[in-house]
Chain A
């Protein structure tokens, strides 16, 4: 099998990060495209960080490798596993939580080094909307009160082009209005898995989406309690 370099570049470009790394060791034809890409080649400009990478990598080593390439990355896709970054006490052991924190920091550091034109796509699952956007409940300690968006992600506002958020449950005290800061957002997907939340309570929040400059928005409400109100 012998493929033209341009064609092989198109194929290899589609692979997730770890498959690209493995492909370098397949043969010289693959290595030449991946290790010595031709001038203007785009094989490494799109990097998809997903579960297997986090499983395999030491976060520090992964961070170092990514930082070296950050300037060439034009599209960073970030898809952590289910319930990633959920509240520690609800969904993760302390050790998992520590690793998740490190990986989150890796992503944020790399993202901060991307060129202004680079796009970031994120696909995230949270235990609750509070975790992301904060809560108005006065008794909550920081950072729960501020929320991760306020603390970290506002700095990515100019790069985020696609955002998919899934929540275990929306919380009445949380607000999604910070989404209006995402000036480059082209696609937004919100999924609320409302096992016990009162859907009526969340609808006013969803209406705030009108503030967001989006070209397409898909809102999926998957509720087992639409007709029965609070079922918990």
Chain B
């Protein structure tokens, strides 16, 4: 299948290979439908991604392309080199995930919508890291959340978990 174009919700086009695009299960499903209706020899396909802006889509596609490159490397590398490939993958992912909380939020929503399992796992891990070990007020400050529980609801939580909150 030829390359395809993913179009962000603000109109930016990103040309990628179909095999890379298929790392998104949502896109893979769309491509399957398009292939069924147009045949594999169809001209360049343009797939609109209505829930994702250009900046976030570019970041998602960076992940997909790198993931494919690592997958290819793993297949091509002898067993003795696998630990090194794994180390490189982890190092790249650590750098990739150095994003602001706001960017992380958009990225996790895009990974969820596009259904990219590897990226979704990275993002949910990072979100959990932002919550782990923090007090409720610290979590609210981190994610820009407003306290909206009633005093009765807060009392109820406190009473049910006295052993942990005291």
Interface size class of A (residues with CB under 8 A): 20 to 34
The answer to whether B145 touches A27, judged by C-beta atoms less than 8 angstroms apart, is yes
Closest residue on chain B to residue A66 by CB atoms = B163
The answer to whether B136 touches A25, judged by C-beta atoms less than 8 angstroms apart, is yes
The answer to whether B108 touches A23, judged by C-beta atoms less than 8 angstroms apart, is no
Interface flags, A19-33, vs B, CB<8A=1, else 0? 101111111111100
Cβ of A62 within 8 Å of any chain B Cβ, yes or no, is yes
| Nearest CB of A to B129, in Å | 9
Interface flags, A30-41, vs B, CB<8A=1, else 0? 110001000000
The answer to whether A19 touches B161, judged by C-beta atoms less than 8 angstroms apart, is no
| Nearest CB of A to B83, in Å | 14
Cβ of A4 within 8 Å of any chain B Cβ, yes or no, is yes
The answer to whether B131 touches A31, judged by C-beta atoms less than 8 angstroms apart, is no
Residue of B131, B133, B135, B144 most packed against chain A (CB within 10 A)? B131
User: Which residues of B have CB within 8 Å of A22?
Assistant: 134-136, 139, 164-165
| Nearest CB of A to B19, in Å | 27
The answer to whether B125 touches A27, judged by C-beta atoms less than 8 angstroms apart, is no
The answer to whether A21 touches B161, judged by C-beta atoms less than 8 angstroms apart, is yes
The answer to whether B157 touches A65, judged by C-beta atoms less than 8 angstroms apart, is no
Closest residue on chain B to residue A8 by CB atoms = B127
| Nearest CB of A to B92, in Å | 22
| Nearest CB of B to A187, in Å | 18
Stretch at the interface among A9-17, A150-158, A220-228: A9-17
User: Which residues of A have CB within 8 Å of B144?
Assistant: 1
- Choice from A11, A24, A57, A58 contacting B128 with Cβ under 8 Å: A11
Closest residue on chain B to residue A21 by CB atoms = B164
Stretch at the interface among B26-34, B53-61, B70-78, B146-154: B146-154
| Nearest CB of A to B114, in Å | 13
The answer to whether B157 touches A31, judged by C-beta atoms less than 8 angstroms apart, is yes
Please measure, in the bound complex, the distance between the C-alpha atom of A16 and the C-alpha atom of B128, giving whole angstroms.
Answer: 10
| Nearest CB of B to A148, in Å | 25
The answer to whether A11 touches B143, judged by C-beta atoms less than 8 angstroms apart, is no
The answer to whether B164 touches A11, judged by C-beta atoms less than 8 angstroms apart, is no
Interface flags, B103-131, vs A, CB<8A=1, else 0? 00100110010000000100011011001
Cβ of A212 within 8 Å of any chain B Cβ, yes or no, is no
Cβ of B79 within 8 Å of any chain A Cβ, yes or no, is no
Please measure, in the bound complex, the distance between the C-alpha atom of A56 and the C-alpha atom of B120, giving whole angstroms.
Answer: 32
The answer to whether B153 touches A4, judged by C-beta atoms less than 8 angstroms apart, is no
User: Which residues of B have CB within 8 Å of A53?
Assistant: 164
Please measure, in the bound complex, the distance between the C-alpha atom of A9 and the C-alpha atom of B162, giving whole angstroms.
Answer: 23
Cβ of B132 within 8 Å of any chain A Cβ, yes or no, is yes
The answer to whether A26 touches B128, judged by C-beta atoms less than 8 angstroms apart, is no
A17-B164, A27-B149 known; 7 new pairs, CB 8 Å cut-off, are A1-B143, A11-B128, A23-B139, A24-B157, A26-B139, A31-B157, A53-B164
User: Measuring CB to CB, which residues of chain B are less than 8 angstroms from any residue of chain A?
Assistant: 105, 108-109, 112, 120, 124-125, 127-128, 131-136, 139-140, 143-149, 153-154, 157-158, 161-166
User: Measuring CB to CB, which residues of chain A are less than 8 angstroms from any residue of chain B?
Assistant: 1, 3-4, 7, 10-12, 14-19, 21-31, 35, 52-53, 56-58, 61-62, 64-65
What would 12 A/B residue contacts be, using CB atoms closer than 8 Å?
Answer: A10-B120, A16-B132, A17-B164, A25-B136, A25-B154, A26-B140, A27-B149, A52-B133, A56-B163, A56-B164, A58-B163, A64-B163
